[in-house]
A and B are shown apart, each in its own frame.
Chain A
């Protein structure tokens, strides 16, 4: 479950690959079972049994067997191994879990995986083109737009949508339309600067 775009680390060990690997092996029996067709109609579901869920994440189709209660956030982190999207409050208040669904920013912690089927989910892992960072990712580095980094994946996904919506034309608008993403380190001035830096490049396409 190693990511070919990751830069190798001298020790041959890094936290992200280790965690992703662990999540991957825990998922193996579930992936195998996902091949089996659903036999019971939805009305006859037993709520305690997992159900087949197909998610399209960053262009890849993922066949999963999930508890119906699973949110998109938990499906991404715990079942697909994409841990970029972060769980902050888990109640739709902090924005750390922001992803794009069919191009629109949403909080993945309040979105049921079952309800997000047949839609295109884009996470922070889906922004870069190979080794080339997305302009918004580069702008966050250039402008020092984070300190601890926990809210950053959500900030970047939200910022990309903010620009595409046409809400990044001035500082006031950027602050208003980025208000759904909280930063406990208060990197807000630098986040505004990053959004301003990346906006023209994103709109240029």
Chain B
């Protein structure tokens, strides 16, 4: 790990000031010399691997008391960015009204990592692409823009089949983000010029020609919270992986349904483990909305979700796996006791 200096930020303004100016258009946020330290489960890991090389760490953990509240007022949920994954997963209001959110957090990482990792840090976690994480590979457009992509013709079993570009096929690895994008969450961003809200769906940028730029966050921006409108008791998260626990998704499905008398009034569908960014399956939602739920409808929705999927040598199995998982998740959501 490269040497760094360490500072504690005791208020958001100080943190924003310290983080600002450390990045430019040639130097994307993920490569900035000043980085915020929250749970550290991604940052310290990637610093040990020499993938991230900050020279200054701003410890934002002193903001925990101000920024970790979980508030539910009957029709709206607000999650503070510094809340730990384990605490939100165990919150009874979240479990009762948003099982999708609770399950997406509980099925991620390990108990130790969930005790450490914050919600804000979780949505900003970096890809698990083994070529990105191993600096002995020179050709990674995310690490070294313009250098090529070793995964294209390499061992790409865990890579994305949706949202890919000619520059990058790295999978977005998170689970919680799939819940947020499915539920039309808003993300609250605190920067140098105050606080603003954007749709969570706008936060991550698909790789395109600039896979090194992963979000729309500007220098000095910190995620301060997330809000979800409405109540989604009929919702769930299903995750297929190489082992039963403590593993990233090969494919996952985030589902929230409003079903009245067997008809789907509203449907929210996101799929994880298969795309380069958090992925909303709007084509599947359009098929479901207004229809009577049955297995055939679930199957057609699953086909629609993966209509644009493009597999490579080792990851084509994800397309069939993803369809079957999504159809199963829809069935479970439609028939669950609420």
Residues of A within 8 A of B (CB): 42-43, 45-48, 51, 67-69, 71, 90-92, 95, 98, 104-107, 110-112, 114-115, 158, 161-162, 165, 167, 175-181
Contact = CB atoms under 8 A, between A and B. Distances in A.
Interface stretch (B107-115, B209-217, B281-289): B107-115
Nearest to B246: A179
B7 A43 contact: yes
B48 interface: yes
Given A91-B45, A112-B40, A176 B245 contact: yes
Contacts of A162: 111
A85 to B, nearest CB: 12
A162 B244 CA distance: 18
A111 B40 contact: yes
B246 A107 contact: no
A178 B109 CA distance: 12
B3 A47 contact: yes
B116 A111 contact: yes
Contacts of B24: none
Contacts of A180: 109-113, 246
Contacts of B44: 71, 92, 110-112
A67 B86 CA distance: 30
Contact of B5 (A45, A90, A91, A167): A45
B37 interface: yes
Contact of A45 (B6, B245, B246): B6
Interface of B: 1, 3-8, 37, 40-41, 44-45, 48-49, 55, 57, 59, 61, 86, 109-113, 115-116, 244-246
Nearest to B1: A69
Contacts, number: 92
Contacts of B111: 105, 158, 161-162, 165, 167, 177-180
A162 B116 CA distance: 15
Contacts of B37: 112, 115
A42 B112 contact: no
B3 A110 contact: no
B3 A69 contact: yes
A162 B1 CA distance: 32
Contacts of A114: 6, 59
Contacts of A110: 40-41, 44-45, 116
Contacts of A98: 112
B15 to A, nearest CB: 14
23 contacts: A42-B8, A48-B3, A71-B44, A91-B45, A92-B41, A92-B45, A92-B112, A104-B115, A105-B115, A107-B113, A110-B40, A110-B116, A111-B40, A112-B40, A112-B44, A114-B6, A115-B61, A158-B111, A161-B111, A176-B245, A177-B111, A179-B244, A181-B110
A179 B246 CA distance: 6
A91 B110 CA distance: 13
Nearest to B116: A106
A130 B245 CA distance: 36
Contacts of A158: 111-112
Contacts of B48: 90-91
Contacts of A161: 111
Contacts of B110: 95, 179-181
Contacts of A51: 6
A47 B5 contact: yes
Contacts of B49: 91
Please name the 7 residue pairs, one residue from A and one from B, whose CB atoms are nearest each other, closest first: A180-B110, A47-B3, A179-B245, A45-B5, A179-B246, A110-B44, A104-B115
Nearest to A176: B245
A95 B148 CA distance: 35
B4 A105 contact: no
B1 A115 contact: no
Contacts of A115: 6, 37, 40, 59, 61
A42 B5 contact: yes
Nearest to B90: A165
A176 to B, nearest CB: 5
Please indicate which of the listed interface residues A92, A98, A175, A178 has the most CB atoms of chain B within 10 Å of its own CB: A92
Contacts of A107: 41, 112-113, 116
Nearest to A108: B112
A45 B4 CA distance: 9
A180 B247 CA distance: 10
A112 B116 CA distance: 12
